[in-house]
Chain A
């Protein structure tokens, strides 16, 4: 089943950059724009379930303030009045932050995340908070304690995860922009399977302050959008040094907007990672990916095959480092100071209340990772697991360093397959983890990467993403490549990929 495709003339069909221009010129009011998106949410979110929380009144009031500012000729941000969906793992005062978990149900954070603060300071209108796998652990949003999000391309399928809510909101035209967070692919994998754009900035490029940590050394907030330029504009708003995050980089933000506007890749050296493809990759994914690479070559890029031999160890290393960090990061959820508390109505000790609260509040995947992480950090096992994983991490960084000494960017499929059916992999954690095979190396190395739509897999008519990886602080190269790809593909397709969400999909074997 799919959802209604909006007409080209509808407000919700427009890009963020167009909406911002029209709001600024007075052609549209921010209130009208917010209302159109709230109406769309009312129309489709019962089916899509991208949102966990919507505050229409607050969004309309914020939009009215933008209109007033513009009327008063006050300075406003580049995306002033444009609605946005915020992943429910970033704090936003006045709205609950649940992280998709029962353990935080109803928790009202007393402070704004730095990313949230910057959105508000730039006059962006926050519509609400989007669904995610519990504490961002998952690749399908099926681990959300509040029910899965559905893929607008086919509502029987997953929208990816953990940021499935943000990607689906954008793909379903419920919001032109969204914020995601990416620990092992949680922005890029949902972007790939929903036919949208998702960017993981360089680690330290955007602030983690107010992002409820999954794995501190891997997490990174980033933009989700339908177009490359929209993503770049949002990237520019949220990125930059934050003194509240010690791991934030004190360097100027690369010129991502300029790069997205230029779309010039002539002479660029693009490396194809030989390890990310072949066996285990869906036929249609490989086909669209290789067509994308050929297109880049036709646009003047030089294509070079590059080997990153340690990437095959990325997944196991990731599934030690992430659980280790998350086992510690999630220790604070104990029912003592906030969130769910179970069992303090009798003679139970504080320790027992902690245990009961965590037992009741966390879902299966969260418990699985806490247990793995606790084990990996235990005395006697630390060197063999956590310590070894850190060595692998170093080797993966070296693979990248060597690759980037030869090429400007690397490319691969964003995911091994297209969107699978809800329920299909719920009971097979390893199969679920494979979704992030291509995206994890970037998180381990801390560099910049993105997923861009490259068409529909012929066999199932579902979106395929092409991943671009750039060296740390060269985020602008992602946008250069993405914009070039987008322009060429859309002229080929005769319009954006998302225009075809409600088209009849072939069961197998048809052309794109």
Chain B
């Protein structure tokens, strides 16, 4: 197979994206019954006749979930349906107790909206096709076999705790014109959506727990043409970083196929986090016919315009406006803000500032030290294992002279390694700066005595040689000294 670089792929082809995001709402109870939605409970302890689909049971709509759906729709500038119905999506799968999913089909609660994402100072407008309500399925755990998928497994375990948890599916219109930026735009969109949903307070938006899940549709067309190519749908891309990687991978993979004269198969694809590749799932040509029809167990949802207006009044600030505001509040330059946004650090910095740190220090830590750890761990910033509160604490320790920036890095390392709070790490690793003047003076004397040649240089006017002596002192004190004070002491002694 031809292997193309990303640049080669983009020279010949123009990518078109379509993103489907599933959001689990954080309602107390499930979509159609009173069971708890709390994540992580013992399997099959949060179930009842309704979410187990027992014969005779009937669904009742959770009004809070409808409210969240409407608020999401409004935040995405959608039209809210005056009247819409649920529909049954029929297919057989053991983790779906009724063998149909209650969803919405041709009458979504919200449709025809738009939103914006900012990337490197450029604004991309993303059309929103629809946002609709549905119920989540249970979870299958396939035991035995090599792949962890149902094929080849010895047996499967089913957990229905998630069955019936309210989901909102948000589908974009085709996203065109992003060119080489397509992977970054995809990531920026999901990041924006995550931030928006968090600001709305409708979801925990924890991608690692599956409360925000993304399916990425990618197609290519020759540069300069307008007809869409055949798309693939990469399922369950469950981190922001993976969204970007998966889109980039699909672009290069499809470009290679097309360059060789091959055809893209309309199919779903599985994303493999470790290898950063996708493999074929189900072909859509042989895909199931879901036999949608209006759900006869539920009455139509007809939100009154008064209610919609009330909910509109509860919306948080739109993301673009928010960026504009915080940038001004923090006094960041356009370039600084651009880096913050592309690193997905806006929330983290906001929280760190709220915890008492200065905006510049918060920016510095999140974009350097923590970003480095995130890269090494292959996770998003908020999953590195250090909270905004802790960042503010570390910065406070720097501020009051307990540690310096260099020592602060070790504190981060300790906090991320789970060694405790910043103060505990400082204590346990004995990182506090030596402020005892006698100890400092002793170390300075040692350094002067050990390096007569350097002392001579300094005496002869080569003041820059002081650095070598400072280094020697710092080494002796394992970096735990205030370099400026050490310099003062050295010059005092020599002169």
Interface on A for B, CB 8 Å cutoff? 90-91, 97, 99, 104, 107, 109-111, 113, 208-213, 215-217, 243-247, 324-325, 327-328, 331-334, 336-338, 349-351, 354, 374, 377-379, 382, 386
> Of residues 51 to 82 in B, which have CB atoms within 8 Å of A's CB atoms?
52-61
- Asked if B49 contacts A110 (CB within 8 A), the reply is yes
- Asked if A104 contacts B92 (CB within 8 A), the reply is no
CB distance from B64 to the nearest CB of A (A): 15
Which 5 residue pairs spanning A and B have beta carbons closest together? A331-B99, A216-B296, A377-B291, A217-B296, A212-B55
- Asked if A209 contacts B97 (CB within 8 A), the reply is no
Query: With A111-B49, A209-B57, A338-B54 in contact, is A328–B90 under 8 Å at CB?
Result: yes
> Of residues 158 to 204 in B, which have CB atoms within 8 Å of A's CB atoms?
158
CB distance from B114 to the nearest CB of A (A): 30
A416 to B328, CA, bound (A): 82
Q: Could you say which residues of chain B place their CB within 8 Å of the CB of A382?
A: 291, 293
Among residues of B, the one whose C-beta sits closest to the C-beta of A204 is B299
Judge whether B453 is part of the interface by a CB distance below 8 angstroms: no
A324 to B60, CA, bound (A): 22
A248 to B266, CA, bound (A): 44
- Asked if A246 contacts B92 (CB within 8 A), the reply is no
CB distance from B319 to the nearest CB of A (A): 36
CB distance from A157 to the nearest CB of B (A): 31
Q: Could you say which residues of chain B place their CB within 8 Å of the CB of A377?
A: 90, 291-293
Q: Could you say which residues of chain A place their CB within 8 Å of the CB of B292?
A: 377
Among residues of A, the one whose C-beta sits closest to the C-beta of B289 is A379
CB distance from A426 to the nearest CB of B (A): 26
Judge whether B281 is part of the interface by a CB distance below 8 angstroms: no
Judge whether B297 is part of the interface by a CB distance below 8 angstroms: yes
Judge whether B298 is part of the interface by a CB distance below 8 angstroms: yes
24 cross-chain CB contacts under 8 A: A90-B56, A109-B49, A111-B54, A210-B57, A212-B55, A212-B56, A216-B296, A216-B297, A245-B58, A246-B297, A247-B299, A325-B293, A328-B90, A328-B291, A333-B55, A334-B92, A334-B94, A336-B94, A338-B55, A350-B94, A350-B156, A351-B92, A374-B291, A377-B291
- Asked if B59 contacts A246 (CB within 8 A), the reply is yes
Q: Could you say which residues of chain B place their CB within 8 Å of the CB of A243?
A: 60
> Of residues 20 to 58 in B, which have CB atoms within 8 Å of A's CB atoms?
49, 52-58
- Asked if A379 contacts B291 (CB within 8 A), the reply is yes
Judge whether B332 is part of the interface by a CB distance below 8 angstroms: no
Judge whether B98 is part of the interface by a CB distance below 8 angstroms: yes
Q: Per a CB cutoff under 8 Å, which of A113, A245, A325, A331 touches B92?
A: A331
- Asked if A109 contacts B54 (CB within 8 A), the reply is yes
- Among B56, B94, B150, the one with the most A-chain Cβ atoms within 10 Å of its Cβ is B56
Number of residue pairs spanning A and B whose beta carbons lie under 8 angstroms apart: 102
- Asked if A210 contacts B56 (CB within 8 A), the reply is yes
Interface on B for A, CB 8 Å cutoff? 49, 52-61, 88, 90, 92, 94, 97-100, 150, 156, 158, 289, 291-293, 296-299
Q: Could you say which residues of chain A place their CB within 8 Å of the CB of B49?
A: 109-111
Q: Could you say which residues of chain A place their CB within 8 Å of the CB of B156?
A: 350
- Asked if B58 contacts A208 (CB within 8 A), the reply is yes
- Asked if A104 contacts B99 (CB within 8 A), the reply is no
Interface of B is mostly: loop
Q: Could you say which residues of chain B place their CB within 8 Å of the CB of A111?
A: 49, 54, 56-57
- Among A209, A331, A351, A386, the one with the most B-chain Cβ atoms within 10 Å of its Cβ is A331
Query: With A246-B298, A328-B88 in contact, is A110–B99 under 8 Å at CB?
Result: no
Q: Per a CB cutoff under 8 Å, which of B60, B100, B289 touches A246?
A: B60
- Among B94, B150, B296, the one with the most A-chain Cβ atoms within 10 Å of its Cβ is B296
A334 to B99, CA, bound (A): 9
Q: Could you say which residues of chain A place their CB within 8 Å of the CB of B94?
A: 334, 336, 350, 354
Q: Could you say which residues of chain B place their CB within 8 Å of the CB of A351?
A: 92
A332-B99, A333-B55, A382-B293 given; 13 more Cβ-contact pairs under 8 Å = A90-B56, A91-B56, A104-B55, A244-B58, A247-B297, A324-B293, A327-B90, A328-B88, A336-B94, A337-B52, A337-B97, A354-B94, A378-B289
A350 to B156, CA, bound (A): 9
- Among B52, B92, B156, B293, the one with the most A-chain Cβ atoms within 10 Å of its Cβ is B293
Q: Could you say which residues of chain B place their CB within 8 Å of the CB of A90?
A: 56
Query: With A328-B293, A332-B99, A350-B94 in contact, is A213–B56 under 8 Å at CB?
Result: yes
Q: Could you say which residues of chain A place their CB within 8 Å of the CB of B299?
A: 246-247
Q: Could you say which residues of chain A place their CB within 8 Å of the CB of B296?
A: 215-217, 247, 325
CB distance from B68 to the nearest CB of A (A): 19
Q: Per a CB cutoff under 8 Å, which of B52, B56, B90, B98 touches A113?
A: B56
Q: Could you say which residues of chain A place their CB within 8 Å of the CB of B88?
A: 328
Among residues of A, the one whose C-beta sits closest to the C-beta of B60 is A246
Among residues of B, the one whose C-beta sits closest to the C-beta of A354 is B92
Among residues of A, the one whose C-beta sits closest to the C-beta of B48 is A111
A337 to B55, CA, bound (A): 11
Q: Could you say which residues of chain A place their CB within 8 Å of the CB of B98?
A: 331-332
A109 to B52, CA, bound (A): 12
- Asked if B61 contacts A246 (CB within 8 A), the reply is yes
Query: With A246-B299, A331-B100 in contact, is A97–B55 under 8 Å at CB?
Result: yes
Q: Per a CB cutoff under 8 Å, which of B53, B55, B61, B289 touches A109?
A: B55
Q: Could you say which residues of chain A place their CB within 8 Å of the CB of B99?
A: 331-332, 334
Q: Could you say which residues of chain B place their CB within 8 Å of the CB of A350?
A: 94, 150, 156
Q: Could you say which residues of chain A place their CB within 8 Å of the CB of B90?
A: 327-328, 331, 377
CB distance from B296 to the nearest CB of A (A): 4
CB distance from B490 to the nearest CB of A (A): 76
Q: Could you say which residues of chain A place their CB within 8 Å of the CB of B291?
A: 327-328, 374, 377-379, 382
Q: Could you say which residues of chain B place their CB within 8 Å of the CB of A210?
A: 56-57
CB distance from A56 to the nearest CB of B (A): 25
- Asked if A109 contacts B92 (CB within 8 A), the reply is no
CB distance from B418 to the nearest CB of A (A): 40
Q: Per a CB cutoff under 8 Å, which of B55, B150, B297 touches A107?
A: B55
- Asked if B56 contacts A109 (CB within 8 A), the reply is yes
CB distance from A449 to the nearest CB of B (A): 20
Among residues of A, the one whose C-beta sits closest to the C-beta of B49 is A111
CB distance from B55 to the nearest CB of A (A): 4
- Asked if A209 contacts B293 (CB within 8 A), the reply is no
A338 to B59, CA, bound (A): 19
CB distance from A214 to the nearest CB of B (A): 11
CB distance from A315 to the nearest CB of B (A): 20
A172 to B130, CA, bound (A): 58
Among residues of B, the one whose C-beta sits closest to the C-beta of A207 is B58
Q: Could you say which residues of chain A place their CB within 8 Å of the CB of B293?
A: 324-325, 328, 377, 382, 386
CB distance from B205 to the nearest CB of A (A): 29
CB distance from B257 to the nearest CB of A (A): 28
A351 to B91, CA, bound (A): 11
A215 to B58, CA, bound (A): 13
CB distance from B127 to the nearest CB of A (A): 26
Q: Could you say which residues of chain A place their CB within 8 Å of the CB of B58?
A: 208-209, 244-246
Q: Could you say which residues of chain B place their CB within 8 Å of the CB of A331?
A: 90, 92, 98-100
A209 to B88, CA, bound (A): 19
A22 to B489, CA, bound (A): 111
CB distance from A434 to the nearest CB of B (A): 25
CB distance from A291 to the nearest CB of B (A): 39
Q: Could you say which residues of chain B place their CB within 8 Å of the CB of A208?
A: 58
CB distance from B261 to the nearest CB of A (A): 32
Among residues of A, the one whose C-beta sits closest to the C-beta of B89 is A328
A225 to B405, CA, bound (A): 88
- Asked if B92 contacts A244 (CB within 8 A), the reply is no
- Asked if A99 contacts B55 (CB within 8 A), the reply is yes
Among residues of B, the one whose C-beta sits closest to the C-beta of A344 is B155
A56 to B47, CA, bound (A): 33
Query: With A332-B97, A334-B92, A334-B99 in contact, is A91–B60 under 8 Å at CB?
Result: no
Among residues of B, the one whose C-beta sits closest to the C-beta of A217 is B296
A386 to B294, CA, bound (A): 11
